[in-house]
Amino acid sequence: EAGVTQFPSHSVIEKGQTVTLRCDPISGHDNLYWYRRVMGKEIKFLLHFVKESKQDESGMPNNRFLAERTGGTYSTLKVQPAELEDSGVYFCASSQGLGGAGSYNEQFFGPGTRLTVL
């Protein structure tokens, strides 16, 4: 079974440009999460999709970030326009269920996209 894949693995762009990150979850996983780790800091939650719907987008930093998951399969995260502080590693994760006290429904992570904004 293929794991979570992310594209590109690295992206270097200039401030003000647009970048689109893609995540392909594990097939059959309804739940898709985006996280990011800014250099030296904690990994922070950005948003959570259940199928094509945004379940929770409380972690999105501002309106320069737009996430979509059309058709409930892959997801894209667009940053427009990119700023210097957006540099970091963006992780995508997927899980089959939501999890609860009795079944934790592990989140499987992709390898991340390292974004560098110059």
Partner 1 sequence: AQKITQTQPGMFVQEKEAVTLDCTYDTSDPSYGLFWYKQPSSGEMIFLIYQGSYDQQNATEGRYSLNFQKARKSANLVISASQLGDSAMYFCAMREFSGSARQLTFGSGTQLTVLP
In the complex, the smallest distance separating the C-beta of residue 106 from partner 1, rounded to whole angstroms, is 5
Q: Within 13 A of 58's CA, how many CA atoms are on the CB side?
A: 2
> What's the DSSP call for residue 45?
E
Residue 8 touching partner 1 (CB under 8 A):
no
Nearest to 110 by CA among 34, 5, 19, 1: 5
Tell me whether residue 73 or residue 104 sits nearer to partner 1 (CB atom): 104
The site that binds partner 1 (CB under 8 A) totals a number of residues, namely: 31
Sheet holding 19-24, edge to edge: 5-7, 19-24, 75-79, 65-68
Q: Which residues, in sequence order, are bridge partners of residue 45?
A: 35
* Residues of span 64-103 touching partner 1 by CB under 8 A: 89, 91, 93, 95, 98-102
Residue 44 touching partner 1 (CB under 8 A):
yes
- Judged by the rule CB under 8 A, the positions of this chain that interact with partner 1 are 31, 33, 35, 41-45, 48, 55-56, 58-59, 89, 91, 93, 95, 98-102, 104, 106-112, 114
